[in-house]
Amino acid sequence: QQQAPVWVQSVTDSTNSQLMQKLKDGVGLEKGAVLVAEAQTAGRGRRGKQWFSPFGCNLYFSMYWQLEQGIQAAMGLSLVVGLAVAKVLQQQWQLPVRLKWPNDLYLEHKKLGGILVELAGQTHAQCDVVIGLGLNIRMPDQTDKAVDQPWADLTSALGQHIDRNLLVALLQHQLVLELQQFSQQGFAGYVQAFNLLDQFAGEQVTLSSGSQTITGFCAGVDAQGGLVLDINGQKQSFYGGELSLRKA
Ligand code: BTN
């Protein structure tokens, strides 16, 4: 099978926005096509947050995909993306990456990267998605002023230079492989793999969504990728919200 293209830009507003725009303009994209940039002037995180995107340091990566199962599969898709990225980092550099539901990558309790899945046009049968990945490779000095939470980067964690071209090729390959499998088999086969890497497994957490907050113990994910919380001995699944550790 032929490899989908990888486009490289120097500076762009947001690699996700660029691919979303291409879709809006009706440009035909190949599944698995990737856009990376050296810097983003308007990098976007989840929940309308900015994503710190300095030049030449990190990875700003977006990939086009099409969900044949339709929009209801989007939750599972974003977890599968996290698993694929974790697998690449584990296989290539033996890094013990953990995942925070629904789509953060952690290394030793610090954020290493994040995933932003955006849905473009949809019909009942299928839906276009742009999968954005921001991965910290070598954060510049003074990053703490720009980032509001503890962070990790690959260069410090490994004490070696990271070849970003190699990383992009490995990620594209692994993502296409896993997403093809996900398209055929759905999320159920990934539940165990996710639970093994779950950063918050067994922890007492708070899930907030709008003004609502729910407290419970993390009990893994369900067959759709929903978060299962154990609330006073009752298991309940959730499909949205922001998770945080409950402080003692
Ligand atoms: C998060 O943890 O909040 C998700 C961060 C996603 C950042 C990436 S960087 C490449 C792509 N383009 C964007 O504007 N955002 C994503």
For residue 116, the one-letter residue type is L
| pLDDT for position 77 | 95
| pLDDT for position 133 | 98
Residue intervals of the chain classified under CATH 3.30.930.10 are 6-195
- Is the CB–ligand 1 distance for residue 54 below 6 Å? no
Q: Quickly state the pLDDT bin for 123 (edges 50, 70, 90).
A: low
Least confident of 48-62, 110-124, 172-186: 110-124
Residue intervals of the chain classified under CATH 2.30.30.100 are 200-245
Q: Is the pLDDT of residue 18 over 60?
A: yes
Choice from 7, 13, 16, 57 to test ligand 1 binding pocket (greatest atom count within 8 A of CB)? 16
The CATH code that applies to domain 6-195 is: 3.30.930.10
Q: Is the pLDDT of residue 54 over 60?
A: yes
46 is an active site residue:
yes
| pLDDT for position 1 | 58
- Structure tokens given for 24: 């809006």
Mean pLDDT of all residues in 12-31:
95
Choice from 20, 40, 51, 175 to test ligand 1 binding pocket (greatest atom count within 8 A of CB)? 51
pLDDT digits (tens, 9 = 90+) for 155-202: 999 999 999 999 999 999 999 999 999 999 999 999 999 999 999 999
pLDDT digits (tens, 9 = 90+) for 90-100: 999 999 999 99
Angle between helix 74-93 and helix 164-185 axes, rounded to 10 deg:
140
| pLDDT for position 102 | 93
247 is an active site residue:
no
110 is an active site residue:
no
Q: Quickly state the pLDDT bin for 50 (edges 50, 70, 90).
A: very high
Give me ligand 1 centre to Cα 247, in Å. Answer: 27
* Multiple choice CATH, 200-245, 3.30.1540.10, 3.90.1150.10, 2.30.30.90, 2.30.30.100: 2.30.30.100
Give me ligand 1 centre to Cα 234, in Å. Answer: 34
